[in-house]
């Protein structure tokens, strides 16, 4: 397996991680199924969403538990914005250069995105995020993810 940019970044910074590989062609329709594919508790699997500001300034990568939905009003309030919207699949892929399902804050460092991480992460030691390609997931320490991505910990999902 070839290393992804996210893995090379973590290697360069000597941050430990574990790789979980699954068949990217395999259809899964829920976070629960995704968690089963990589053998991880569902609450530790996070998806990365591309969220856009109304004024089209810096796009955001918002990491939330895969089994939850982003609350755009709550997130906007948390970061002091009036309005936010989800990027379409096409916009997300154009902005990131990555396929939906493989979007990763680790693969997009220094590419002009602001990273946000849902506050539910504070209950975890380790987190599972995409390695930047569909079919490869990385497990790493929450503190390491926050340090590397400089992610703001915010409330992005409602209780």
- What tens digit of pLDDT does each residue of 8-64 get? 999 999 999 999 998 877 777 777 888 888 999 999 999 999 999 998 889 999 999
The model's confidence at residue 1, banded by pLDDT at 50, 70 and 90, is confident
pLDDT at 47: 94
Domain boundaries, given as residue ranges, for the chain: 5-154
Q: Is the model's pLDDT at 105 over the cut of 90?
A: yes
Q: How large is the average pLDDT for residues 85-104?
A: 95
* Cα-based torsion angle of the residue sequence 144, 148, 154, 158 in order, rounded to the nearest 10 degrees: -70
* Cα-based torsion angle of the residue sequence 12, 119, 116, 37 in order, rounded to the nearest 10 degrees: 60
CB 62 within 8 A of CB 107: no
CATH architecture observed for domain 5-154:
Alpha-Beta Complex (3.90)
């Amino acid at each position: 397996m070839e290393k992804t940019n996210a893995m090379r970044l973590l290697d360069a910074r000597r941050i430990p991680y574990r790789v979980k590989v699954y068949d990217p062609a395999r259809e899964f329709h829920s976070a629960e199924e995704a968690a089963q594919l990589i053998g991880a508790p569902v609450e530790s699997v996070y998806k990365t969403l591309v969220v856009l500001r109304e004024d089209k300034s810096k796009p955001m990568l918002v990491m939330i538990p895969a089994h939850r939905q982003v609350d755009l009003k709550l997130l906007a309030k948390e970061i002091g914005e009036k309005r936010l919207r989800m990027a379409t699949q096409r916009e997300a892929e154009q902005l990131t250069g990555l396929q939906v399902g493989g979007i990763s804050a680790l693969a997009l460092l220094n590419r002009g995105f602001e990273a946000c991480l849902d506050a539910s992460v504070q209950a975890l030691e380790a987190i599972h995020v995409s390695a930047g390609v569909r079919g490869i997931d990385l497990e790493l320490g929450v503190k390491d993810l926050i340090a590397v991505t400089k992610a703001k910990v915010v409330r992005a999902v409602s209780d």
